[in-house]
Each structure stands twice: as C-alpha cells, then as structure tokens.
Structure 1
Amino acid sequence: MSTPQALLNAPEGGVLTFGETMVALRGSGPLKLGGSMNVSIAGAESNVAIGLARLGHEVRWAGAVGDDEAGQLVLRTLRAEGVDVSGASLDPEAPTGLLLFEPRLPELTRVHYYRAGSAGSRLTPEAVECAFAARPPHVLHLTGITPALGPSAREACEQALQLAEEHGTFICLDINFRSRLWSTREAAEVMRAWAPRVDALIASDDELPLAVPPGSEGQENAMAETLLKLGVGEVVVKLGAAGARVHPGSEGGECGPLHRPARAVRAVDPVGAGDAFGAGYLSALLDGEPAEARLDRAITTGAFAVTTPGDWEGAPTRAELPLLTAQPGTVVR
C-alpha cells in the first residue's frame, strides 16, 4: 500500500488507465426528430487521461477499440491531446462502441449506449500485461465501469490490480457506478473485494456504500473510517454542489476529514465533471500536494468541466487553473 507522499519517491512511470472509449454523438434535440449531431469521443478513463495530459502529466491509455474508422477517431483524438496510446489494442472482430446523447429538457439529457459486444468490452488481461511490461506505471487509475463491461474486461482489471501490487504502483479507484451496466449487488461484490487493495478511493456520497462490507452502510464518516481500517489509503467523497471531502489515512500524515465547497460557476453540461475531478485530484497527488490542495485542484478542474459541453473538452491546462479566481468580466490578454 502506497501513500501520497510515497509518490514523490516512486520511479517515474506515468499514469496508466484503460477502459472503453466510444464515439459520442450529441444531438440538438429528440433523436426521433433527426437533425445534426456533433461527433466526438467519450469514456471515463480517457477523460481522466486527457485531463491529466492537459495538466502536464505523462499518461497512457491502454484500452481497446475496433479496427474501424470510429476506433481511429478515438486514437487520433487521444494522441492529439497528448495521451500515449501505444499500448492500445485494435480488435478486428468487434466494433468500437457508440454513445448517443439526447438533450430532452433544459436540464435533462438521455444517454443511449451501443456497447454490447464492443471491442472495449473484450479488453484482455494480456493487453494489461503488455502495458506493465513496457513500463510499470507510477499510478494505476481504474474505474468501476470497466469491470461492468464483461468477463474479459473484468479479468483485465484484476490482472492490473495484481501487477500494480507486485510493482508497488499507487492504485486509484473511482467507483463510478453505472446502473445501466450492472446492478448494485454486482457492483458491490467487486468494489468490496477491490477496496482494501486501493491507495485512493474516489466515490460520490451515494456510491460509497458499494465499497463497504455488508451491514456497514450508514453515515459517510463511519463508512470512510471502515474503509481506512480495511486498508484503503484515503477516501475522497464527491458531494456535488456541496463540494468534496477527503478522509486521509493515518499513514498519509494528514489531518482529516477535510472539506472544500464547490466553486460557483455557470453550469452548461455536468457530463464528465467527476472524471475531471479525478484528474485534478491525481494531478495534485503527483505534484506532492497536501490534502487541502488536492481537493482544491479537483474541485477546480471539475468546475471547468461543467462550464463546457462535452465529456472532456472543458478540461483545463495548468496555466488555466487560476482563471476561476478571476473577477467576473475580466478579460485575460
């Protein structure tokens, strides 16, 4: 088990993440009425990868895409954002997944997945082994989305956890529960088994019960304390409009829990805010920042994300981080 401070002395291997990244089509209204659609990409892990790359960190994405034009769009976009995709897999027998966003009401967007049998769901443990063999990572970033995609993707996650432990890699897990992919019972079975092996666990307040043992569900502080006693390095809780809180472990040398309020911004699109938050938190961890500064950067990057349509398009660069503290109406020249 690594501590945030240990990251400063760990061998430089960058951040490794993997999962399914899909082609994303965003409509301007109800899909049944037709109309034009904006074409981009979307995926929780690649969103984090882009967020970290924009903040100046070395990051690799080792997911799988189909050997098709959609897959080339995914890889081209990630390369353009500075993400290393040399470990990505091309699957000639399965397509790249598809995601449709349907704005239905001013504050309601419906999401339609077309990912059953996709290349991302067929990611193999061998692909993860190759990524570690090429260069063991400094940090392994996982989400609860990838193991929900299918048996092969879940085995790839298990292999990544095992290799990370063998190499002393810092492990970050964002629960990122998706009810369209698996049930709370299935998710809890996996998350509860993984949690004690994790150095930093990130979850929204309603996801936290999925990581604690049965019967331990309850107040946030009690659940966080349970996880810390089980071996989790630190617990980071996203509270939406109420900000976020970190419960540091005793080995991290921090006092806690610590809370930071959300930043007041004009929200345009909440999609991708949690991934941007995770990228900001990991970025500050990699910089050796204390818990207070880690939360502050995570909340800042999350705030940037909601001000721009898209999964990752609003992620800030390091030079842009101070912009949210500028006076309203300021013109930056």
Structure 2
Amino acid sequence: MDVLTFGETMVSLRSTGPLAQGGTLTMHAAGAESNVAVGLARLGHSVRWAGRLGRDPHGDFVERALRAEGVDLAVRRDGGRPTGVMFLERRTADLSRAYYYRSGSAGSGLSRADLERPLEDGAGILHLTGVTPALSAEALDAFVFAAETAAARGMVVSLDVNYRGKLWSREDARAALAPVARHAAVVIASDDELDLLSGRPGTGSVAGTAAELLGLGVRDVVVKLGARGADAYTADGTSHVDAVAVEAVDTVGAGDAFTAGYLSVLLEGGDVAARLRRGALLGAFAVSTAGDWEGLPRRDELGLLESLDAGGTDR
C-alpha cells in the first residue's frame, strides 16, 4: 500500500444559494483525508482509508463512492451512531459556509482499535490531518497513536494542519498538533495555520516556524498560499511555485487536492520542485470544477490544463 489515511468522511449536502431560502441540494461524500485518498487513487497510487460509518444509507453512499474511486477501505460500520452530515452553503459567488452535524457520529467514535490492523499492514506514507483529532478524545488518542506507531515503524508521516475553527479553538489545536509534528517528515499548512505547530506561538514568521520544524526533524515544510501558490522549506532552502491560472468555480477541497499532488510525486521519487508543481496543478483542477474531489484528474489528464487554451475543447 502506498498511502494509509484515516478520519471521518461525511455526506455533504451542497446548496447553490442561501440555505434559508430552500432549494435543491446535491449529495456528495466529503472528508479531508478521503479527498486526498481519491486524488491519489486517480493518479494510480494504492491508497487505503480507515474509518467508521453508520449502518445507514448515508454510510452506504460514502462507502460506495470511495470504493468506486479505487480506494481500499478498512471501514467499521457502527450500528449505534449515524454517519456524519454537513451542509455546504454557497452564500455568495465568493463565499461558502459549512454547517456540521457530526456530534456523536460514527466517525467521531474512531479509536486506536480501528487503526491497529491497517497500521500492521503497513504503507509507505501515513497521511494525517488536524480534522480528526478535533472530533473527540477517542479520535485524538487514535491520531497520536497512529503518528507514533507509524514513525516507529519507519513510515513517512505526512501531517496537513487543516484547522477547522468550528470544531475547536486554536489553543486546543496547538496543544494536540504541535507534539505530533515531531513525528512528521512532511508538514503541510496554510500560512495562517503553520503557527499551530510551533512550540513558541506568536513569536516568529512563517519562515521562522518552518526553521523550527526543520530543526525538529521535519524534512518538508510546505506552506499553501492560495492564489499566490505555495512555498516549501527544506534543508536545501526554499522553493516556490505559482498557482496555475484558471477560473475559480469552487475552492472547497483545493488544499486536499494540492496535498494529493505533492504526495504523489513524493511517492514517485520526484524533487521538491516537481512535488510543488503537481500540487499546484491538482489545486487548479479542484478550484476550476465543482465538488471536493469530483473534478480531480486521472493520470492521463494531468496535461489538460497546459495543452488547451481557456475555453477549449479536447477533440
């Protein structure tokens, strides 16, 4: 297995306008970790997602969606808890808002028992996000256990901060995530999240925090800058990639798409510059199509954005 990841995947009900006005909702499967898993699977990598789903139609929907994308599942169906649900409101053309209904969900009951066998089976990379430990004390324990176990077994640990302010405070996030960063070989964060991994919060710049993490043994500190691209800090210096110019349709899932692209080239042995380029490319696919992962490319589609003029048709 190339990559193992775990977390909560929910049913996402998307609106095209303000929820208060009613209207049609579309149904999607969404979760930070499973978004990355789908992105990697579409590029031909072997990926396993571990998690819990309710024994309900929503869980059936999520399981079928992930299996259809070629993601291997280590899933427990929980008859006592429902599959989590979120509503994603397209409030304006430039602003979306998420409303979570995941308290007491099957995914929030994730425990280290759910991860013991997948970790024993092994993978080249264990990918973690800061969403999972925010769900419950059990999920936090499982998160720490997985990071420590994977690092001890020589797996590459990837950590995407993915801070969710509706799930926990920055102080709670820092207390949980900063100690785990020392187990990570790759850290990914937006420029306003990286400080959550610092042992000296509020005292330095992004570059200073990156240097602190490199001193702890992190190999790649990757900072997502949105429309300005991304930077990567390593022992060899700093690399930058500009964002790929596309018309933005839906920015949800763009960070997960970037992560999938970056890890894909890491698996293939490519250098930091190549990792950043593919990350930016997958991010461009994500923002120029609707959905968390639905518009991500297959491997033979990676050149589409470069080979066609804007508005062109591949005939």
TM over 0.5: yes
Matched, 1:301 2:289: no
Paired residue for 2:49? Answer: 61
Matched, 1:74 2:62: yes
Matched, 1:168 2:149: no
Residue 5 of structure 2 contacts residue 37 of structure 2 at CA under 8 Å; is this kept in 1?
A: yes
| Cα distance in structure 2, aligned partners of 1:248 and 1:315 | 28
Is the partner of 2:80 in helix, strand or coil? Answer: coil
Residue 129 of structure 1 contacts residue 159 of structure 1 at CA under 8 Å; is this kept in 2?
A: no
Tell me the TM-score normalised to structure 2 length.
0.97
| Cα distance in structure 1, aligned partners of 2:226 and 2:148 | 32
Mark the runs of 5 or more structure 1 residues left unpaired by the alignment. 1-12, 250-254
Is the partner of 2:297 in helix, strand or coil? Answer: coil
Matched, 1:117 2:120: no
Paired residue for 2:117? Answer: 130
Paired residue for 1:4? Answer: none
Is the partner of 2:151 in helix, strand or coil? Answer: helix
Which gives a bigger RCO, structure 1 or 2 (Cα 8 Å, sep 6+)? 1
Residue 216 of structure 1 contacts residue 223 of structure 1 at CA under 8 Å; is this kept in 2?
A: no
Note the C-alpha offset of 1:236. Answer: 0.4
Is the partner of 2:100 in helix, strand or coil? Answer: strand
Q: Give aligned-pair identity as a percent.
A: 51
| Cα distance in structure 2, aligned partners of 1:51 and 1:324 | 17
Opposite residue 131 of structure 2, the aligned amino acid is: I
Note the C-alpha offset of 1:102. Answer: 1.3
Counterparts of 1:204-243 in structure 2, within 5 Å, are: 204-215=190-201, 217-243=203-229
| Cα distance in structure 2, aligned partners of 1:168 and 1:101 | 38
Number of residue pairs matched? 314
Paired residue for 1:6? Answer: none
| Cα distance in structure 2, aligned partners of 1:127 and 1:143 | 17
> What are the superposed Cα offsets for residues 93-139 of structure 1, whole Å, 9 maximum, x if unpaired?
10000010111212111211000000000001011002123x11111
Structure 1 vs Structure 2 CA RMSD: 1.1
Opposite residue 159 of structure 2, the aligned amino acid is: L
| Cα distance in structure 1, aligned partners of 2:258 and 2:201 | 29
Opposite residue 85 of structure 2, the aligned amino acid is: L
Residue 132 of structure 2 contacts residue 143 of structure 2 at CA under 8 Å; is this kept in 1?
A: yes
Opposite residue 77 of structure 1, the aligned amino acid is: A
Note the C-alpha offset of 1:29. Answer: 1.8
| Cα distance in structure 1, aligned partners of 2:5 and 2:140 | 14
| Cα distance in structure 2, aligned partners of 1:220 and 1:30 | 36
Is the partner of 1:111 in helix, strand or coil? Answer: strand
Paired residue for 1:97? Answer: 84
- Comparing 173-182 with 151-160, greater Cα deviation is found at 151-160
Higher normalized strand content (fraction of residues): 2
Paired residue for 2:145? Answer: 159
Paired residue for 2:17? Answer: 29
Tell me the TM-score normalised to structure 1 length.
0.92
| Cα distance in structure 2, aligned partners of 1:235 and 1:273 | 18
| Cα distance in structure 2, aligned partners of 1:277 and 1:110 | 21
